[in-house]
Structure 1
Amino acid sequence: MGNDKRIDAELLRGRISNLNDSSRLEHLNKGYSSDVKYVVYGGDGRPQSILRTYAISQEAGKRMEYDNLLLAAANGAKCSKPIAIGVLPELELGYMIVTYIDGDEAAEALPSLSEQVQFAIGVQAGEELQLLNRIGCPVPMASWQERMLAKHRRYRTAYAGCGVSIRGEAKLLAFLDDHLRLMEDRPNRFQHDDFHPANLIVKDGALSGVIDFNRCDWGDPVHEFVKVGMFSAEVSVPFAIGQIQGYHGLGDPNEPFWRLYSLYLGMTMISSVVWTLQVVPGEIDDMLARIQRVLDDHDGFDRIVPKWYSAGK
């Protein structure tokens, strides 16, 4: 396939039967995924679905993602509904089509809304996340602790040799080592694994739906909240507080939640340095600044409840 996205789109429209009634495809250049995304417009000129194409070598993983999206939709989640999945061997591509959710990306919409509306959308997001997290793993799987410890050790090794250091890393690493035991006996539940305003759609001051399930996994629901500290609180503190309280029945989380939350935030700092250097090295300064902000929010993890939560209630 060439570099001209319009030519590629026309080629795809001619090869994928589910696109026969479409009028055009519009390339969607958002996110860090390697998938190439298009908005599919119907004969009436309105968006009707999203097409994602990917290397055919990713087919097995994409089938799992598709099945997980079916599971989420079947459980009543406000998410894109799966329409079709298939392969185009002659183009060495796989593809997935899901319904389009009308509205604006929450990351762009929230700052222009009142704090009360931002909080209310956060509450709706928290309730939606809890619905997703109630879905149990349908197949036998290694424990969350076993899988996360193995992943964390790989990242620790990579971080040690990456040449970049987080300010105050000795205290951070000691905090992690002292709290890794908290992962014992944590459940394997459905995880969106990228739940933050850039993957939420809002319309008319309310949550329309959750998008981009390409990282979904199974594990501890508390891990979902690392994106609140790393990203959502940067966009909107009222939204971030609303998501946490909406998830917890409009109340405050207990201490075990905050301890796990802090552990997972710290682990994410290590993995984020490694990931950024590998995928978008030009953004490492921004990532280090974000990590420092989160560390400051927690006084270097001398406190487990972030300052923005305590001050914003």
Structure 2
Amino acid sequence: MEPIDNTHIFREHIPFLQGNVQIVPIDKGYSSDKKYKVVKDNQTYLLRSFNSKHYQEKQFEYDALMKMKEYKVKCSRPLHMGSIREHGVGYMLLTFIEGNDASEELPIYSSNEQYNIGLEAGIELLKIHQYKAQDPISSWYDRKAKKHKRYIEEYYKMDVRVKNDFRIMSFIDDNLQLMKNRPNLFQHDDFHVGNLIIKDKELSGVIDFNRYDWGDPVHEFLKVGMFSAEVSIPFSIGQIMGYHDNQDPTELFWKLYSLYLAMCIISSVVWILKVKPEETAIMMDKINRVLDDHSYFEHEKPKWFKI
């Protein structure tokens, strides 16, 4: 297991970090990775460390960042990856994205500025989705339907339930077939204002690719409804429009968007009770806001999407 105070281990085993180097822990986010801001020769870097048993999947994350570089996505560039076997620690060294979280910056900007940053975010997400699965992978429908079934089983065991949840369940059941034959593209899988960095009123970069997955690109947008719209509606509209080349999204997009949001409501209840039970009230507020946005999914397009 990775030790709690491991900066001395990094200095000892990673040549790049030897000498006059500042290593400062970054405590934000829910990632299981340990993150550090590294300053050397007036240059700033990001060091991510993880349990070395996850090295293979982290190698893919590193390779995916190489692919993002090829696609010119605004995100950290991978510099080096390795492991310190005697301590069970793996690590990757990346370039550092300068700026502040979009969740903190957007509220102090004008609506037009928020919208324009959203446009940039949508364009970057579209670049990310150029990456197609190379190896044979089971269908999105099979994987997502199985995962949803597991969440439903867990949900019914929980002490907390969503009011009138039968309406949500019915909507999901009526639309599950829409997931059939959807593409298997690379998903950031946590693309929202908490993982976007802004500097000088422009999008500086996308961070935290560690939850990557493969599947329907529309699935990425549920984070707009759950998280980003709560912070900035202009940004959220901008992201959707930027992704769609400033065209109104198709009816199929909205059907899938609302389906994934509905499924996310169920999984979010399970997740929060298992992982962050102290934040249950916060999560339920988010869920109730989404339900209001869609009138319990009588409407597939959220009330706030007005162009």
Question: 2:76 & 2:17 partners in 1: Cα distance?
Answer: 17
Inter-partner Cα distance in structure 2 for 1:66 and 1:278: 29
8 A Cα contact 1:22 1:40, kept in partner: no
Paired residue secondary structure (1:152): helix
In structure 2, give the amino acid aligned to 1:42.
K
Alpha-carbon displacement from aligned partner over 1:150-179 (angstroms, at most 9, x marks no partner): 111111111111221011100000000000
Q: Write out aligned runs for 1:142-221 (5 A).
A: 142-221=138-217
| Aligned counterpart for 1:109 among listed residues 100, 105, 110 | 105
Correspondent of 1:9 among 7, 16, 24 = 7
Q: Is the 8 A contact 1:228 1:240 kept in 2?
A: yes
Equivalence for 2:68:
72
CA distance in 2, matches of 1:249, 1:75: 18
Question: Which residue of structure 1 lines up, in the alignment, with residue 289 of structure 2?
Answer: 293
C-alpha separation in 2, matches of 1:53 and 1:157: 34
Of 265, 268, 272 in structure 1, the residue corresponding to residue 268 of structure 2 is 272
Distance 1:204 1:243 in 2: 18
Deviation at 1:11, TM superposition (A): 2.9
Distance in 1 of aligned mates of 2:221 and 2:291: 16
**How far 1:18 sits from its partner (Å)?**
2.7
What is residue 26 of structure 1 aligned with on the other side? 24
Residue identity in the other structure for 1:279: V
Q: Partner of 1:299: helix, strand, or coil? A: coil
Stretch moving more, 86-95 or 297-306:
86-95
Runs of 4 or more consecutive aligned structure 1 residues displaced over 6 Å after TM superposition: none
Task: Spell out, residue by residue over 1:105-143, the C-alpha distance to the aligned partner (whole angstroms, 9 max, x if none).
Answer: 111111111111100000000011011112211211111
Question: Which of 92, 98, 102 pairs up with 1:96?
Answer: 92
Aligned to 1:253: 249
Give the residue type in structure 1 aligned to 2:28: K
How big is the shift at 1:284?
A: 1.0
Amino acid paired to 1:79: C
- Aligned equivalents of 1:96 and 1:275: distance in 2? 28
Q: SS of the counterpart of 1:309?
A: coil
Partner of 1:41: 39
**How far apart are 1:198 and its partner, in Å?**
1.0
- Secondary structure of residue in 2 paired with 1:250: coil
Distance in 2 between residues matched to 1:134 and 1:99, nearest whole Å: 22
**Structure 2 portions without partners, runs of 5+:** none
SS of the residue 1:307 aligns to: coil
1:203, CA displacement in angstroms? Answer: 1.0
Q: Which amino acid aligns with 1:161?
A: K
Residues 64-101 of structure 1 show CA distances to partners (whole Å, capped at 9, x for unaligned) of 21111111222211110111111111211111111101
Question: Shift of the alpha carbon at 1:2?
Answer: 5.4
- Give unpaired runs (5+ residues) of structure 1: none
**What is aligned with 1:223?**
219
**SS in structure 2 opposite 1:51?**
strand
Hey, what's the Cα distance between the residues in 2 that align with 1:260 and 1:247?
Answer: 15
Over the residues paired in the alignment, what is the CA RMSD in angstroms? Answer: 1.3
TM-score by length of 1: 0.95
Deviation at 1:278, TM superposition (A): 1.2
Provide the rounded CA distance (Å) in 1 between the counterparts of 2:150 and 2:16. Answer: 42
Moved more, 214-223 or 55-64: 55-64
Secondary structure, aligned partner of 1:138: coil
Return the letter of the residue paired with 1:265.
Answer: L
Counterparts in 2 of 1:62 and 1:2: CA distance versus 1, 3 Å: closer
Q: Does the C-alpha gap of structure 1 residues 299 and 117 become closer, same or farther in structure 2, counting only changes over 3 Å? A: same
Tell me the distance in 1 between the aligned counterparts of 2:71 and 2:242.
19
When the two structures are superposed, what TM-score results if normalisation uses the length of structure 2? 0.97
**Which amino acid counterpart does residue 221 of structure 1 have in structure 2?**
P
Distance 1:218 1:98 in 2: 23
SS in 1 for 2:190: coil
